């Protein structure tokens, strides 16, 4: 086990059950993002698929919101949004920003990246 692995395990052991579950869910999100690093078709004139209409539940955690948005927008390169999404998740966890507010901001980020992808594709037929 590397020093980084051990450090992560030490942190994990110090967390409460709810925080452990959130850390695990976020790690699963990052893993999913890495597996689908670039699902978007190259700029070959292929049309950008429409987002999948997945309704937002009334009560949704931030991590569940990230998973829903990843499924809604499978054509997006999640690594391009990592900084912004990570910052929002950190604000939720560390500063207590409300889940609803964070999810709304995440939805805006995903929608903006989708619009940009469509615009880029339209400009490079």
Lowest mean pLDDT among 62-66, 70-74, 89-93: 89-93
Q: What angle is formed at CA 37 by the lines to CA 10 and CA 123, rounded to 5 degrees?
A: 145
Lowest mean pLDDT among 5-14, 23-32, 72-81, 113-122: 23-32
pLDDT at position 105, please?
A: 96
DSSP per-residue letters across 68-121: HHHHH-TTS-GGGGHHHHHHHHHIIIII---HHHHHHHHHHHHHHHHHHHHHHH
Distances (CA, A) of 35 to 28, 29, 31: 10, 10, 6
Tell me if the pTM is above 0.75. Answer: no
């Amino acid at each position: 086990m590397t020093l980084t692995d051990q450090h992560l395990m030490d942190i994990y052991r110090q967390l409460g059950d709810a925080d452990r579950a959130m850390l695990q869910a976020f790690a699963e999100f990052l893993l999913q993002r890495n597996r689908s690093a670039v699902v978007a078709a190259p700029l070959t004139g292929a049309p950008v698929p429409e987002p999948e209409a997945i309704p937002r539940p009334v009560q949704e955690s931030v991590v569940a919101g990230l998973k829903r948005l990843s499924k809604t927008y499978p054509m997006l390169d999640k690594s391009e949004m990592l900084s912004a999404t990570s910052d929002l998740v950190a604000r939720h966890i560390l500063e207590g920003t409300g889940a609803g507010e964070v999810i709304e901001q995440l939805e805006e980020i995903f929608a903006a990246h989708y619009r940009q992808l469509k615009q880029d594709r339209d400009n490079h037929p």
